[in-house]
Structures are given as C-alpha cells and as structure tokens.
Chain A
Amino acid sequence: MVSNTPVEGDYFLLELASRVVAPLVQPGQFVHVRIPGRNDLVLRRPFSVFRAGDGLLSILYKRVGEGTQSLSELPADAALDILGPLGRGFPPVNPEKLPVLVAGGYGMAALYLVAERAPKKGVVMVGGATGKDILCVADFERIGWEVRVATEDGSRGTRGRVTEVMDAYVAGMEGAAPEFFACGPMGMLKAVAERAIGGSWTAWISLDRNMGCGVGACLACVQKVRDESDGPTWARICKEGPVFECREVIWE
C-alpha cells in the first residue's frame, strides 16, 4: 500500500504499488482483496479498479461493513494480498458513438478508466443521495470530460435522480448516438437498461455483488442472463461479468 486516506464521509482512497497487476487492468475489472489481520473473515472483498498505470493501482471504497472498516484502519504502508485483475470489464468505447457514463455514488470510480482510455471525450452523469456521495468529479474534468451531477436532496447539482439528468441530456442530443457505460446500484442500472432498450442504444452495465471465490468456481455471485437461444441461464458475475450489455441481463 502506498496510501489509504479518507476522501469524504465514509469513502476512502487506497493506492497500491503493483507492478504486476496495474499494467494488466482493463476498465471495469476488479481486484479481490484479502482483509489483513482478519482471519475470521474468510472471504475476500471485490473492488473495482479506479486508476491503473505506472505501477500504481487505486481503489475508491466505501466503509460499509466489517471488512471495509478494517481496511480503512490499515496504516498507509501495510501489505495487501490481492488477486487480479479479474472479470470481464468494459469493451473499448465505440468511436462512432458518444460515450455517456452514468454512475451512482462510488460507481463513479469504476468508470474512470473508461473515460481515460476512450478515443474521444464524452459526458459523465453521477447521482447520489447527498453531495457527500458525489466523488471524482475533478478527476473527470481534468481529462476534459463534462460532468453533470444529481443529488436526491439537491445539495449538489440538479435535485433528483441521475436517470432524470440522463433523460434530459439524451432528449437534447444531436448527431452521434449515445453508448452508455454504467455502474451503480441495481435499481439505477435497471433504469439505465430500460432507457437504452427503449431507445435502441447500447448500454454496458457493471454489476456490484458480494462474491465468494472471485474466479468462477463457487457459483455464489450468479446473475440470470439470456443464453444464445434466449433462454434463462446463470452467468458468473466474477467471470462472465461484472460488465454485461444490458440486453444480456434478465431484469427481475
């Protein structure tokens, strides 16, 4: 670990020196982290990679339970055991379309590499309960992306949901069709999927789920998806995901 610092409220930024893993990371992939000193926690925790490059890899995480609580208490120079990069991330941005990133809370972090590696600039929309849940805005602005913010309490940006901001933006779009890249809570992803399917647009969504092994063996983190013959089957979020095109997912 290089640093482990509070960002805002319960959010923390963790930076790792990882010459092996960092160069391999594709946007949307995750690392599976063992919580040091907690032998009572038998499962690793999956985290999307925020930034990766120059032998450094960072994770933006929220303190939500015992594992992330312990993680947040680690000194900056602790050693961390990670497995990664894992999973199927976002595909390359289609240069024929306009990339539109839609994030809920710290889902913003999982989309950063999409923007950084995109062949063209696009727009990012981020939503949260309050202004404290809006993260990484400056990171996207620094690389020339437009950021639009929505909060449910109106403390930052537009009052309301991120999908309302998305609706207004899409209604005023001219020229290239949008291609959506989304990461956030299941309800938000479903709302993005409904709009993408309704408008005949492509939407890549990243599912956030508790995981067991992280490598496709235990079959805990499965999601119902459509197979080639359109029938229901299970996909392993850690292996076939966490990113799916929204039409693959069977939304319930």
Chain B
Amino acid sequence: MAVNIGGIRMKNPVMVASGTFGYGPEYADLVDLNQLGALVVKGISLKETPGNPIPRMTEVPGGLINAIGLQNPGFDGFVKKYMPFLRGYEVPVIVNIWGKSLEEYVGVAERFNDVEGVAGLELNVSCPNIKEGGMAFGTNLDSLKRVVSAVRKATRLPLITKLSPNVSDIRGFAAAAEACGSDAISLINSLPALAIDVETRKPRIANVIGGLTGPAIHHVGVKLVWDAARTVRIPIVGMGGIMDTKDALEFMIAGATAVAVGTANFTDPSTAPRVIDGIAAYIERHQLSGVDALIGSFEAGA
C-alpha cells in the first residue's frame, strides 16, 4: 500500500485535503491520525489572515460552496500552536502554503526549511476565494512558472503544486509545474461557483462567489487527473469529491499515485480510514501485486 509522492513516503495512498481537516487536533478524537497516508494542513501564509466575512459556506446538491478566505494563524502562529502537536504523530505532515505576491510565497516556503516535522509543501496557486494571489497564479501559465520556480529555489522540502481546474487545458499547467521543479502535482482545487437566494436576490455567501467541492465535482477531477497523468512523469495526488473507496479508485486508475479526501471529512470523519481499508480490499479481491498495479491502469480503449 506504500507510495512515494516526490520524496514523501506514505504508508498508504490516502491523505486528507487541505482546508478540510484543520491542522490535525480538530479530528484527532475521531480519526487515528497515524492511520492516514499523510495529513495536509489548512493553507498557511506568512502573516496571520482573518479570512472572509460570514456566511462563508452553503450547501448545494452534491456538494458545498465555500469562501473561507484562507483564514489562518500565519507561519509563526501555526508553528507555535500546532507543530508540537503534529510532531507527536508519525503521519507525514504536508503544509499547504499560499501568498498574495511572489515574495510572500517565497518567504513562507523559506521559513519552513527550518521547521522540524514537515514532510513537504503543497503550493496553493488555485484558491478561488481571495482577491490577490491564489488562483491568479495558477490560471496564468507565466505566473505559474514564476511562482513554482521561485518556491523550488526557496525550499529544500518535497514540493507538490496544487493545480486549478479553471484552465482551458490542464496539460500545459501540469507540464509547467513539472518543468519548473515540482516533485508532484495535486488536483483539483475547487471550481468557482455562485449560489443565489432567490427570495432576497442576494448571494448565499458573503464573498458572493466561492469554491464548489464535493461529489458534484468528482468526475471533473477524474477527467483532469487522467489528462495530467498522460502529460507528466511526476506523481499525481487526485482529489475532488471522494466519498468512498470507488471514488478513490477512479482517481488511481486514471493515474493518481495518491488521493486526498476533502469535503467527505465533514460528512463522515471516518471516510479516509474506510477508503484505506477499501483500497486494500480491492487489491486483494483483484489479486493485484500492490497499489502500483492499480495506478494508471485505466483501459480507455481506442
């Protein structure tokens, strides 16, 4: 069941996605964190960020739209408040990082070089909910190349670039992330979406638009992972609406080396452990030699 994501050794291919699992302690009473393949913490910026006004989340059929606005305690707050807790576990900790400028991305990446207990960085260039930075970097090819190259130079840690689905052709972005030194890519982040309260004719969340996640986006994710898998040689972390084992298997068959459970953590915190067991059971049932035999085993025909 073990996989290697650009130097991050995971004992199984299932991680929990950034923004859906807090910083670890929130779910520690409900999930044995050491069972997870990896834990990706909520996005960290150089300075503390208050996030967006409320309401920040609304449920829609098969998913939810959120615009939390990357609220986080900043590098110092995160390291002080959460790293001592996280070091008490064996689970690889991947820190999702973001910035409003190239300098901020580089700054936060550099600071993590000296932090003990961090297995890797996930570069968030795909958040749709902040005015500057985020998706602006991930949907323009030149910006993406600049930020990935700069962060690559700044960090000694394995680097996973998290791609936005909001591009006309994911292959160019996946290839650019690889060429600029990413050790892996993860996809997909949320899709920009709008929900309107028809009685008041006002938006259902304060930020007006937010990111759609959950089962509603699952098959968009599977398709984009498949596209990316035929383009790059670096490992892919597939995510988007994984609710059960079958959803995770689809990503792996499409070419993902690992998967991340996101919104389903809210629905049922036991989803990730169930998916881990489910993948093992599938491997046995299909008499595969291991997860490697599963990755990219899609038979598309034609």
| Chain A residues packing against B (C-beta within 8 Å) | 34, 39-44, 81, 83, 210, 212-220, 222-223, 234, 239
Q: Is the CB of B26 within 8 A of A217?
A: yes
Please tell me if B27 contacts chain A, counting CB pairs below 8 Å: yes
Interface residues on B, range: 20 to 34
What CA separation (Å) do A222 and B20 show in the bound complex?
Answer: 15
Please tell me if B63 contacts chain A, counting CB pairs below 8 Å: yes
Q: Is the CB of A43 within 8 A of B68?
A: no
Please tell me if B268 contacts chain A, counting CB pairs below 8 Å: yes
Please tell me if B71 contacts chain A, counting CB pairs below 8 Å: yes
Measured CB to CB, the closest approach of chain A to B275, in angstroms, equals 15
Specify which of A34, A43, A83 is in contact with B59 (CB 8 Å cutoff): A43
Measured CB to CB, the closest approach of chain B to A24, in angstroms, equals 12
Q: Is the CB of A42 within 8 A of B64?
A: yes
Q: B26, B27, B51, B263 — which one has the most chain A CB atoms within 10 A of its CB?
A: B26
Please tell me if B19 contacts chain A, counting CB pairs below 8 Å: yes
**Chain A residues, CB < 8 A from B55:** 210, 220
Please provide the 10 A-B residue pairs with the shortest distance between their CB atoms, ordered closest to farther: A217-B22, A220-B57, A217-B26, A213-B266, A216-B26, A42-B214, A220-B56, A43-B59, A42-B267, A215-B26
Measured CB to CB, the closest approach of chain A to B243, in angstroms, equals 7
Tell whether A217 pairs with B27 under 8 Å between CB atoms, given A42-B214, A43-B64, A234-B71.
yes
Q: Is the CB of A42 within 8 A of B264?
A: yes
- Closest residue of chain A to B59 (Cβ to Cβ) is A43
What CA separation (Å) do A213 and B23 show in the bound complex?
Answer: 13
- Other 9 A-B pairs with CB < 8 A, given A210-B59, A215-B22: A42-B64, A42-B214, A215-B30, A217-B26, A217-B42, A217-B266, A218-B57, A219-B71, A222-B51
Q: Interface on chain B toward A: helix, strand, loop, or mixed SS?
A: loop
What CA separation (Å) do A108 and B269 show in the bound complex?
Answer: 30
- Closest residue of chain A to B61 (Cβ to Cβ) is A40
Interface residues of B in 171-229 (CB under 8 A from A): 214-215
**Chain B residues, CB < 8 A from A44:** 266-267
Measured CB to CB, the closest approach of chain B to A230, in angstroms, equals 16
- Closest residue of chain B to A45 (Cβ to Cβ) is B59
A-B CB contact pairs (8 Å), 5 listed: A40-B62, A42-B264, A43-B64, A213-B265, A218-B19
Please tell me if B66 contacts chain A, counting CB pairs below 8 Å: yes
Interface residues of B in 4-39 (CB under 8 A from A): 19-22, 26-27, 30
Specify which of B27, B51, B66 is in contact with A212 (CB 8 Å cutoff): B66
What CA separation (Å) do A210 and B266 show in the bound complex?
Answer: 13
B 54-81 to A, binary, CB cutoff 8 A, 1 in contact else 0: 1111110111101010010000000000
What CA separation (Å) do A234 and B53 show in the bound complex?
Answer: 10
**Chain A residues, CB < 8 A from B54:** 222-223
Q: A41, A81, A220, A239 — which one has the most chain B CB atoms within 10 A of its CB?
A: A220
What CA separation (Å) do A43 and B68 show in the bound complex?
Answer: 16
Q: B58, B62, B68, B267 — which one has the most chain A CB atoms within 10 A of its CB?
A: B267
Please tell me if B50 contacts chain A, counting CB pairs below 8 Å: yes
Q: Is the CB of A219 within 8 A of B68?
A: yes
Tell whether A39 pairs with B71 under 8 Å between CB atoms, given A218-B19, A218-B66.
no
**Chain A residues, CB < 8 A from B19:** 218
**Chain B residues, CB < 8 A from A215:** 22, 26-27, 30, 269
Measured CB to CB, the closest approach of chain A to B142, in angstroms, equals 32
**Chain A residues, CB < 8 A from B58:** 210
Q: Is the CB of A39 within 8 A of B215?
A: yes
- Closest residue of chain A to B213 (Cβ to Cβ) is A42
Measured CB to CB, the closest approach of chain B to A29, in angstroms, equals 14
Measured CB to CB, the closest approach of chain A to B120, in angstroms, equals 21
**Chain B residues, CB < 8 A from A39:** 215, 243
Q: Is the CB of B64 within 8 A of A234?
A: no
What CA separation (Å) do A213 and B266 show in the bound complex?
Answer: 4
**Chain A residues, CB < 8 A from B243:** 39
What CA separation (Å) do A239 and B22 show in the bound complex?
Answer: 12
Q: Is the CB of B66 within 8 A of A42?
A: no
Q: B19, B30, B64, B266 — which one has the most chain A CB atoms within 10 A of its CB?
A: B266
- Closest residue of chain B to A215 (Cβ to Cβ) is B26
Q: Is the CB of A83 within 8 A of B56?
A: no
Measured CB to CB, the closest approach of chain B to A77, in angstroms, equals 22
B 78-118 to A, binary, CB cutoff 8 A, 1 in contact else 0: 00000000000000000000000000000000000000000
Tell whether A43 pairs with B61 under 8 Å between CB atoms, given A212-B66, A219-B56.
no
Measured CB to CB, the closest approach of chain B to A67, in angstroms, equals 8
Tell whether A43 pairs with B267 under 8 Å between CB atoms, given A83-B30, A215-B27, A219-B71.
yes
B 249-267 to A, binary, CB cutoff 8 A, 1 in contact else 0: 0000000000000011111
**Chain B residues, CB < 8 A from A41:** 59
What CA separation (Å) do A218 and B58 show in the bound complex?
Answer: 12
Measured CB to CB, the closest approach of chain B to A228, in angstroms, equals 15
Tell whether A216 pairs with B59 under 8 Å between CB atoms, given A42-B214, A43-B64.
no
Specify which of B26, B27, B59, B71 is in contact with A42 (CB 8 Å cutoff): B59
**Chain B residues, CB < 8 A from A219:** 42, 51, 56, 68, 71
